[in-house]
Structure 1
Amino acid sequence: MLEFASSEAVRTTGDAPEVCLLNPETLLLIWDMPTRLWAVPKLETTEGKAISPQATLRLPLGGGGTRLLRVIRRPKDAPVSFLAEAGTLGRKDEITIDPDGDFEFASAGMLLEDVTPSGRLSLMSALLGAWASMFRTRRSKSYTIFLNKLVSEIVDTPQRAKAVAKLSDQQILISAGLPVAFGEIEAVYIVSSFGFRRLALPPHESSEGPQGKKQTYMIADRDGTENGAYLVVTGGRALAIRHLAATPVLPSLSRWWLARGKSDADLREYIIGAMARGDTKARKAALEFQLRCPLSSQRVTGGGGLPSGEVDLAVTTARGTLIGGWYRDPAEMIAGIDILDSKGTAHPFGEGFYRYAGNVMDDDRTVSATGFVGFYREIQSQVPILQPRSLMRLTSGSRHLMVPTAQPIDPAEARARILRAVPPQHLTDEIIENCLSPVIGDLQQKLLAAAKIDRTIEFGEPRKEPAVSIVVPLYRVLDFLRAQVGAFACDPWISQYCDVIYVLDSPEQAEECEHLLRGLHLLYDMPMRLVVMSRNGGYARACNSGAEHARADLIAMLNSDVIPHQIGWLELLASKMGGPQEVAAVGPKLLFEDGSLQHAGMYFAKNERGQWLNHHFYKGLPDQFPDANIERSVPGITGACMLLHRGAFDDVGGFTEDYVIGDYEDSDLCLKIRKADFDIKYVPDASLYHFERKSISTHTDYMLGVATQYNAWLHASRWRDMLEDFHENDVPQNRPQNRVSDDDDQGEAA
């Protein structure tokens, strides 16, 4: 046992404890009791107040006794007296400790003497966990030295752990064997001469290995392990200590994985999930690992009445995991489809699973099948999991693994797959809300984070104080630029008072677009600016980016396929703006190329399925239809051509950017303007041609997918109350009786 402190340092009316140091500021008081202590004796001041902070631990001894440990702060300026209960008989001894006592540091060997294995587990857990936090010893060099001595005292020659791979500049992967009987791991600590810390991530336990051991993998920061360290593993009833040798140059994760020669899908997902929580470099490394070391894709093959199936869509984001695919079940053997987590545990989708009738190819013939999509919120990742695994569960109890091919890492490509996951005729608002929208929303945010202004190119000297800034988003189709710029140049008011800004949302065309605009500038001597985006971010992001470069108090949003056919149209629209507190947006009449009406204001109505859609007044009727030639307030105007007050535009936050590709952003903006108590007017005396949807028709994600249905759902879920109010109260104008129905009449896009 430890030697007693000097009588001058510790004075007591009864049995004196042994007093030693855990570090210069922390005292450890030790009593050895001949019997088990089933209750914790009190320790309080002579006035009966609790001592804080203090910690107490009872260590069972092999002979049936108890070693009682108490940890308190070392007194600083004056002696401290307190009352300590002696055993369980109720007697209290007064103890006084002098701050100037010459106390020894705790001896690891004496502290562990005769302590049972369960007591050693409790002691290590307290020293590495609660006590370190309570008494702030994590940065204490003397405390670290004591811990290293204690660990080495517990096991003379510990088994080895091994650093097997480098995950990033900061993290390594460690492998260690533990007995199968060890039970559940509660915590893992690194103890080295540099300090100690608990591993932030729980370890991964693989299947049972040789000699009754299970291989356990842990991810740790490399700092402090370069010269070797101890791994201290604590469980509910067990303690294991492993020695981690000095870490030399380690192989990359991909090289180590390929050299193993065997695949462990659960371990793979554990590593990916851990790296996803790291910095940007770690997340990039997680993607590289998945691409270099993909899982073998697996489908369920049937025949002779057996079920078959495949997962061909699988996207994991920070909001959950979405899968989609098909199955055939001629004999009704399938009980369900489950999703696997990183531990290989199967989870049923529950209410987030939807089926629909479909067809698949089977030996060059089309056969009927059941399509499905499922969303499971609890399996999430900051880094895309490119091959989430699923199980086909049969009524017999057997389970069949399904692994998709590696999914795209680009958020736009992943979004495109989701938009094609369910055929439009089978898509419902319920599927969008409960299944698709969380993942699409997350991918949209990732896409927008990467879609920034890359550079701007000036053609000529910019207008110093323009009356209107014209913003034109460009995507793929540049065919109308010559006609549009020519119309601008031929309008004296535009050429003299307006600022023209083109925003290229397809940056791969930057060289072609710059060459074309430079030539048009030389031809017409009209100043222009080209804003080039870093990648395609959609209509709203392009328009908002153009607005950032606008210098006028009025902003005209104009599609690239809208061509003026008269001069003075923009000057007329500008004259109708009544200041930011009155009219905040105005729109002209738009015509199809055959002269019929394309737009005379916008209103909202439900279709036969009860879904709210955007509609254009009098679409398809002759240009001179009387009601279409009345200037009036309207619920909204199309983004194909709208003039906005800059102050109102900024106040409502510009275009909302979570709509996909391009649809419903214009009506969303109009509803935000109306909610802010501004007015919106339709001005028929200003007229332009609109070659509708020429740009968006080149966007395969839009044309082949269900983007417009998703946007309609998003728009309605956001504005349903206001749309119902318009419908019930005919605000601000009665719906026309002569509307021509058009299934494609659902908003605008660049």
Structure 2
Amino acid sequence: MIGVRGGAGGLPPGLDTAAASFELAGEPLRSSISWQAFPTPDSGPGTALWLLLARTQSGLEPGGILLLRAPNGAAALHLLPVPDMAALTGATAPGLVLAILRFVATKALGVMRAAEDQALATACHGFANTTLASSQTALPVALCGHDSILWSLPTGVGVDPGVHFVLGRHRIRRTAIGASNFILPDRGMAGGFLLPPMGPGPIHLAPADARLPGLPELGRRKDPQSQALHRAALAEINRRAGAEPGFRRLLRDQAMLAPVQPFRQLADPEHPFGASLDMAVQDHAGGLFLRGWLRDPLGMVTGMTLLGGRGERPLDLTATARFPRADLLKTFADSPHGGATAKPGFAAHLPDAAPRPVAQWSLRLELSTGEQVVLTAPPGLLHPQAARDRILGAIAPAHVTQEILARCIAPPVARLHGQVMASRGTPDVLHIGTPPAQPFASIVVPLYRNLRFLRHQLGAFARDPALRGAELIYVLDSPEQRDEVEHLLRGMQGLYRLPLTLVVQPTNYGYGAACNAGAEQARAPVLLLFNSDVVPADRGWLQPLLAALATDPGLGAVGPKLLFEDGSLQHAGLFFERGPGGEWFNNHYHKGFPRHWPAAQQPRPVPGITGAAFCVRTAAFRAVGGLTLDYVIGDYEDSDLCLKLRAAGHGIGYVPASELYHFERQSIRDHVGYARTLASNYNRMLHHGRWDAAIEALMAGMPRPSSAFGEG
């Protein structure tokens, strides 16, 4: 910072400083520049203190000359040494100090990008310290989380609207303050200064005592002052949670540790009405998924209101999606006041109902008698993955219409799944044995819980001399099995002398993420995605696939013939057909036909191939971004990849000379987030929405056998 006093002996009067530029040693000043005048009460009329804020550079030092050029004149500024900012400004008036520090803080957090500049923060802190006064001191009163402090402004100091800055010894921050009790999310700011928009000067933040009470302890105290401070802290957290992620996390953590209220519903057949809010699950992006039911044969319920997050929201059942509940029909069949309707269940997604985390939600029923009944849902603030799976399993698939899926299920699932995928961590990679120097193929096998076929599969690989020199990569998507799988693979490697790579995912992210994680480790020009429940029918199965890619440069990927356990055909290429609702389904040519069915013996182009054994050029796989990760757990990623490859100009082929057994869906059936949920319906909806027109054009030129849905 450079200071110049304007007026006599300073800047020439009338100089147009608004359009000024600066030169140092004949060259333009190389820095973001901020230039501002401050009136000084201790100087004569017409004088001012001009401050120039610029980054240090060669020549900008005591003894140098800075040339100021303006449209109507120029001035040479001689740079003189000063011991500190107070000596530079010659000011200790609190109001002037506050104005100067706010100027510096504004520019430091803006054009100067110097919020973390410790030297600047220390200099400003020392300057603010010249105004230190007990009447301008805020006191720390409680810890809010591990790194936040609740402060209380001194008596008589009001809260001014506008931006506040916090000046620490090591950094400068901008903050939002709306009450005399406020929270700063940085314990390192204790001992610093608060710079309000107006006021007599900086407010000192007193050093914080290590024995400050935590927010829960403050809430347990019975004295009025502690209770008032606790309420003020919660109000502050709620106020700032909508815009500041740190406060949103703090509110979430407070809600997670709050005492759980018992689930309460009205389900007595002897009662004249009944209702329940079975689920109120937040989508972690401001929305709320609801599932419940209402039995009201006498029309006693006149209104319903959702309660949570310190607010109320009317719930209009006519705007919700309704679905059958056979269990309720049975439960209330003999009720003396009347049973349940055909569709007593209701579901809804309210995209903006939960801008802040809430531990539990309630439903208030307004009755025709003027009375009210409050029902309480189970806790609904869950991990994104658990919330996603809970919503996918909320309604029996048989009762889910396209409207329910699109309006109530898909929006929260998309939000939650996006958060799950965005939180992926880096996997651990273990090399067991010495990897081949230049592998000709990389085989990637995702593992999830089911290890029943692993010994058989690895034994078949080891017995095939044609696979020596291939790279074998197992990806464990159930990290809780790490010790078991590593022990098993090390034993198998010692037995077969077949080098292996084990990639361990931090947690279960699904088939697509597991395959992509394995593909990142692949070093061969050809990549084979291989299910853990696929076992070769004989040796030499890989060579026909590689030969097909080698002889036809137009092919991007090829798939083998897959067999059921009884030897019948499971897959001879994949094709698409529309189901009863008009959506495209994946199907396999000649599924269930004899192994040597003549039409399945011919290599040919096909619309797609299954991900159970997917042989693809590595470069093509990476160029299209690998498997798409917005499908949940595992379904439709393979056909999506085929369509992406086709869109990039690659063909897809079927190679019957390569035969393998596929013990279908042995892993995915063990996944609680897939079995008995809407994951497949959801994935099909995504796939159809993304590829409808492309599939229509593709299938117009492809052979189609008799439809699985009974059409010709």
TM-score (norm 1): 0.70
* Aligned-residue offset at 1:310: 2.3
* Cα deviation code 1:118-156 (max 9, x no counterpart): xxxxx999667568637999958897678677795xxx8
* Cα deviation code 1:683-728 (max 9, x no counterpart): 223222221111111112101211111111222222223123224x
Distance 2:540 2:79 in 1: 94
The residue that corresponds to 1:372 in the other structure is 347
Is 1:465 matched up with 2:438?
Answer: yes
Please tell me whether the aligned partners of residues 55 and 131 of structure 1 are also in contact (alpha carbons under 8 angstroms): no
Distance 2:235 2:176 in 1: 13
* Cα deviation code 1:610-667 (max 9, x no counterpart): 2222111222233344333332101100011121122211222222222211111111
Match of 2:645 among 646, 650, 673: 673
Greater percentage in strand: 1
Distance 1:682 1:592 in 2: 17
The verdict on how the C-alpha distance between 1:677 and 1:243 changes in structure 2, with shifts beyond 3 A counting, is closer
Distance 1:400 1:199 in 2: 45
Is 1:617 matched up with 2:589?
Answer: yes
The residue that corresponds to 1:328 in the other structure is 294
* Aligned-residue offset at 1:414: 2.5
The residue that corresponds to 1:163 in the other structure is 141
Q: SS where residue 713 of structure 1 aligns?
A: helix
The letter for the 2-side match of 1:602 is L
Alignment size in residue pairs:
643
Please tell me whether the aligned partners of residues 632 and 683 of structure 2 are also in contact (alpha carbons under 8 angstroms): yes
The residue that corresponds to 1:292 in the other structure is 257
Distance 2:121 2:541 in 1: 77
Please tell me whether the aligned partners of residues 281 and 381 of structure 2 are also in contact (alpha carbons under 8 angstroms): no
The residue that corresponds to 1:172 in the other structure is 149
The verdict on how the C-alpha distance between 1:364 and 1:296 changes in structure 2, with shifts beyond 3 A counting, is farther
Distance 2:253 2:431 in 1: 35
The verdict on how the C-alpha distance between 1:725 and 1:224 changes in structure 2, with shifts beyond 3 A counting, is same
The letter for the 2-side match of 1:557 is L
Please tell me whether the aligned partners of residues 160 and 245 of structure 1 are also in contact (alpha carbons under 8 angstroms): yes
The verdict on how the C-alpha distance between 1:546 and 1:320 changes in structure 2, with shifts beyond 3 A counting, is same
Is 1:247 matched up with 2:208?
Answer: yes
* Aligned-residue offset at 1:539: 1.0
* Cα deviation code 1:564-590 (max 9, x no counterpart): 223322212221114684112111121
The residue that corresponds to 1:314 in the other structure is 281
Q: SS where residue 702 of structure 1 aligns?
A: coil
Which runs of no fewer than 5 residues in structure 1 stay unpaired? 1-22, 30-43, 60-66, 84-95, 112-122, 206-214, 744-750
The verdict on how the C-alpha distance between 1:711 and 1:74 changes in structure 2, with shifts beyond 3 A counting, is closer
Distance 2:330 2:167 in 1: 62
The letter for the 1-side match of 2:258 is C
* Aligned-residue offset at 1:550: 2.9
Matches within 5 A, 1:111-190: 129=102, 133=106, 139=120, 157=135, 161-169=139-147, 171-175=148-152, 185-188=161-164, 190=166
Matches within 5 A, 1:266-285: 267=235, 270=238, 273=241, 277-278=245-246
Is 1:423 matched up with 2:396?
Answer: yes
Is 1:482 matched up with 2:443?
Answer: no
The residue that corresponds to 1:225 in the other structure is 190
The residue that corresponds to 1:656 in the other structure is 628
Distance 1:328 1:242 in 2: 56
The letter for the 1-side match of 2:473 is I
Please tell me whether the aligned partners of residues 161 and 245 of structure 1 are also in contact (alpha carbons under 8 angstroms): yes
The residue that corresponds to 1:455 in the other structure is 429
Is 1:259 matched up with 2:227?
Answer: no
Please tell me whether the aligned partners of residues 164 and 174 of structure 1 are also in contact (alpha carbons under 8 angstroms): yes
The verdict on how the C-alpha distance between 1:69 and 1:274 changes in structure 2, with shifts beyond 3 A counting, is farther
Please tell me whether the aligned partners of residues 148 and 191 of structure 1 are also in contact (alpha carbons under 8 angstroms): no
Please tell me whether the aligned partners of residues 97 and 127 of structure 2 are also in contact (alpha carbons under 8 angstroms): no
Q: SS where residue 247 of structure 1 aligns?
A: coil
Which runs of no fewer than 5 residues in structure 2 stay unpaired? 21-34, 54-64, 81-86, 333-338
Is 1:592 matched up with 2:564?
Answer: yes
The verdict on how the C-alpha distance between 1:365 and 1:438 changes in structure 2, with shifts beyond 3 A counting, is closer
The residue that corresponds to 1:643 in the other structure is 615
Q: SS where residue 106 of structure 2 aligns?
A: helix
Distance 2:71 2:441 in 1: 81
* Aligned-residue offset at 1:533: 2.8
* Aligned-residue offset at 1:104: 7.9
* Aligned-residue offset at 1:355: 2.5
Distance 1:687 1:129 in 2: 74
* Aligned-residue offset at 1:669: 1.0
Please tell me whether the aligned partners of residues 618 and 740 of structure 1 are also in contact (alpha carbons under 8 angstroms): no
* Aligned-residue offset at 1:294: 4.2
Please tell me whether the aligned partners of residues 360 and 378 of structure 2 are also in contact (alpha carbons under 8 angstroms): no
The verdict on how the C-alpha distance between 1:609 and 1:140 changes in structure 2, with shifts beyond 3 A counting, is closer
CA RMSD of superposed structures (Å) = 5.1
The letter for the 2-side match of 1:314 is V
* Aligned-residue offset at 1:464: 3.6
Distance 2:390 2:291 in 1: 12
The residue that corresponds to 2:704 in the other structure is 735
Please tell me whether the aligned partners of residues 469 and 551 of structure 1 are also in contact (alpha carbons under 8 angstroms): yes
Please tell me whether the aligned partners of residues 229 and 243 of structure 1 are also in contact (alpha carbons under 8 angstroms): yes
Q: SS where residue 167 of structure 1 aligns?
A: coil
Q: SS where residue 656 of structure 1 aligns?
A: coil
Match of 1:577 among 541, 546, 549: 549
* Aligned-residue offset at 1:340: 5.1
Q: SS where residue 534 of structure 1 aligns?
A: coil
The verdict on how the C-alpha distance between 1:653 and 1:624 changes in structure 2, with shifts beyond 3 A counting, is same
* Aligned-residue offset at 1:334: 5.3
The verdict on how the C-alpha distance between 1:347 and 1:503 changes in structure 2, with shifts beyond 3 A counting, is same
The verdict on how the C-alpha distance between 1:230 and 1:151 changes in structure 2, with shifts beyond 3 A counting, is farther
Please tell me whether the aligned partners of residues 150 and 182 of structure 2 are also in contact (alpha carbons under 8 angstroms): yes
Matches within 5 A, 1:530-545: 530-545=502-517
The verdict on how the C-alpha distance between 1:133 and 1:688 changes in structure 2, with shifts beyond 3 A counting, is closer
The verdict on how the C-alpha distance between 1:633 and 1:372 changes in structure 2, with shifts beyond 3 A counting, is same
The residue that corresponds to 2:529 in the other structure is 557
The letter for the 2-side match of 1:270 is N
Q: SS where residue 356 of structure 1 aligns?
A: strand
Please tell me whether the aligned partners of residues 188 and 233 of structure 1 are also in contact (alpha carbons under 8 angstroms): yes
* Aligned-residue offset at 1:430: 4.9
The verdict on how the C-alpha distance between 1:357 and 1:435 changes in structure 2, with shifts beyond 3 A counting, is closer
TM-score (norm 2): 0.74
* Aligned-residue offset at 1:500: 2.8
The letter for the 1-side match of 2:292 is W
The verdict on how the C-alpha distance between 1:625 and 1:183 changes in structure 2, with shifts beyond 3 A counting, is same
* Cα deviation code 1:454-490 (max 9, x no counterpart): 23241x4444433322222222222122332333334
Please tell me whether the aligned partners of residues 578 and 584 of structure 1 are also in contact (alpha carbons under 8 angstroms): no
